[in-house]
Amino acid sequence: MDIQMIQLNIPVPPAPILEQAVGYHYNRNARFLALWWEPADDEAMVSDGFVTFTGHWPGYLAFVHHRAVYPYLKSYNLGSSDEPANYSLLIDLKERKAFIALKKEGDKVVAGNWQVEANQSEPISLSTEDLETLIQAFVEQTQNLPTMEELKAQMEKDRRAIAALTRWLDYQR
């Protein structure tokens, strides 16, 4: 598979500054993280290839619009409120480098975080009992809504994450 990625001279903060700012709280040993904007719900998107979700848009915007980052991204359509992304911003989480790739190519890169050789993997099968356990866990998670105090605490944590990202970027130029 020949994927073209262009390395960008963007400062990428040490882990977990950027990850926390965009709402990526998974500890999966992913190599790449893809970031872009989706017009459908007007949201920042984050994907490690295993999970794709609406990220924390203020953190995404703080990063891509920062004066140390924006000049390198302005010629690439990472999506907007009005149009879908043509490109993905790829963050190498190990080397702490940034790349740009066509959106479909970026999807392949993050999917590659989890692919194994076909002859090394066995088909996954779940017993009825395993499936029921998964369904029960899903139901329990959707019933345990956060309290107002938990929401306020998360909002404060998000605010601090964005402040840390911005402070770090401010010292890079």
Q: Render the burial of 60-75: b for 16+ CB within 10 Å, e for the rest.
A: bebbbebebbeebbee
Rounded CA-CA distance 16/25 in Å is: 9
User: Tokens standing for 11?
Assistant: 């400062």
Residue 26 is predicted with a pLDDT of: 84
Residue 13 is predicted with a pLDDT of: 97
**What whole-number percentage of the chain has pLDDT above 90?**
72
pTM recorded for the entire structure:
0.83
Q: Which amino acid would we find at residue 136?
A: Q
Please state, rounded to an integer, the average pLDDT across all residues of the chain. 91
**What whole-number percentage of the chain has pLDDT above 70?**
94
Identify whether the C-beta of residue 50 lies closer than 8 Å to the C-beta of residue 114: yes
Q: What is the mean pLDDT of residues 39-43?
A: 92
15, pLDDT greater than 80: yes
Rounded CA-CA distance 31/42 in Å is: 26
Q: Over the stretch 143-169, which tens digit does the pLDDT of each residue have?
A: 888 899 999 999 999 999 999 999 999
Q: What is the mean pLDDT of residues 54-64?
A: 97
Q: Over the stretch 79-131, which tens digit does the pLDDT of each residue have?
A: 999 999 999 999 999 999 999 999 999 999 999 988 754 445 566 677 888 88
Cα 44 to the chain's mean position, in Å? Answer: 9
